[in-house]
Amino acid sequence: MADSICLINQKGGCGKSSTCLHLAGAFAGSGMRVLLIDADPQGSLSQGLLGSAAVENLPMEQTTAGLFDERNFFGDLSKIIQETKFDRIWLAPANQHLSRFNTPCPEQTGMDQFAMRDFVAKQTNVDIVLIDCPPNLYRCSWNSMVAADYVVIPVPPEDFGTQGLRAVHQAVLNARKLNPELRRLGHVITRSDRRLLIHRSYETKLRDAYADLVFSTVIPEASAFKVATACRQPVEHYQPSSVAASLTRTLSREILDRISMKTKLRSVA
């Protein structure tokens, strides 16, 4: 069975989609087979791999909206997954068709809460699944948490934002009612500029508050990430010798270490 991780934070611009894209490159570079699932109606991750026009033109049944569409329940969901131009990376893309399914208060609706879970469970040909969530805790994020084994929370080191993080942690606890095995792997500090006092002090506060629930690896604000994304490539493929690629590889290894530790210890986080 593949390990599945959803990247979640109700803040936009904190690097969820970017981290998904570049981690996919690092995992694939180490020989793993990766499925990226875009659960965000904005489709940034999909556009980062396929380009805007191609993504906008995809019909619903070739996007993750097909998972939620009642008419497609018994349809051929394999049409949702497409190959990318990178070895060992596949994508289940999203576009504007997903918007109407991303409704608020997902726990309280009678709608299908397991649509994503059933889809992820069928992915036996990959080693790891990364799910990119939208910047809210609506139905798409909820379905992703119900589907995933693990949660990773990207956090930029600004604006302490404890309120926002608390809501994310509460959402994880709520999702455990349907998915008791869901575990938090940790917060990953993204877009950090250690020359800035505010960033260094935010990092200290985060580590004080969450201790081991913060990854040691810090992802810096680096132009290599932006340029690679603009070139529709993970930084591992675009510039493997860059610091950005090297740190992404380190993060990917830390993620795998944490997964194997949790599996061994069955620890709750």
Ligand X SMILES: Nc1ncnc2c1ncn2[C@@H]1O[C@H](COP(=O)(O)OP(=O)(O)O)[C@@H](O)[C@H]1O
What residues numbered 134-153 form the site for ligand X, per CB under 6 A?
135
Which residues, other chains included, contact 150 with Cβ-Cβ below 8 Å and sequence gap of 6+? 3, 4, 5, 6, 182, 183, 184, 185, 259, 262
| CA max distance for the chain | 54
Residue 24 CB, nearest approach to ligand X (Å): 13
Return the number of the residue (127 or 132) whose C-beta is nearest Mg ion.
132
44 makes contact with Mg ion (CB under 5 A): yes
12 makes contact with ligand X (CB under 6 A): yes
17 makes contact with Mg ion (CB under 5 A): yes
Q: Residue 221 binds what, of Mg ion, ligand X, none (CB under 5 to 8 Å, by partner type)?
A: ligand X
Return the number of the residue (144 or 229) whose C-beta is nearest ligand X.
229
Residue 172 CA to residue 182 CA, distance in Å, equals 8
Residue 225 CA to residue 245 CA, distance in Å, equals 8
Tell me which stretch binds Mg ion (CB under 5 A): 11-19, 146-154, 220-228, 233-241: 11-19
The residue whose two tokens read 């994020």 is: 141
Q: Residue 187 binds what, of ligand X, Mg ion, none (CB under 5 to 8 Å, by partner type)?
A: none
Residue 67: alpha-carbon gap to chain centroid:
17
What residues numbered 44-73 form the site for ligand X, per CB under 6 A?
44
SS3 of residue 251 by DSSP:
helix
Residue 268 CB, nearest approach to ligand X (Å): 26
Structure tokens at 119: 């889809």
15 makes contact with ligand X (CB under 6 A): yes
In the bound state, the residue with its beta carbon closest to ligand X is: 18
Structure tokens at 83: 């190959």
Structure tokens at 144: 């992703």
Measured torsion, CA atoms of residues 21, 29, 256, 32, in degrees rounded to the nearest 10: 100
What residues numbered 188-247 form the site for ligand X, per CB under 6 A?
190-191, 219, 221-222, 225-226, 229
Rg for the chain, CA atoms, rounded? 17
Of 1, 13, 51, 260, the residue at the interface with ligand X (CB under 6 A) is: 13
The residues that touch ligand X, with contacts defined as CB under 6 A, are 12-18, 44, 135, 190-191, 219, 221-222, 225-226, 229
The residues that touch Mg ion, with contacts defined as CB under 5 A, are 16-17, 44
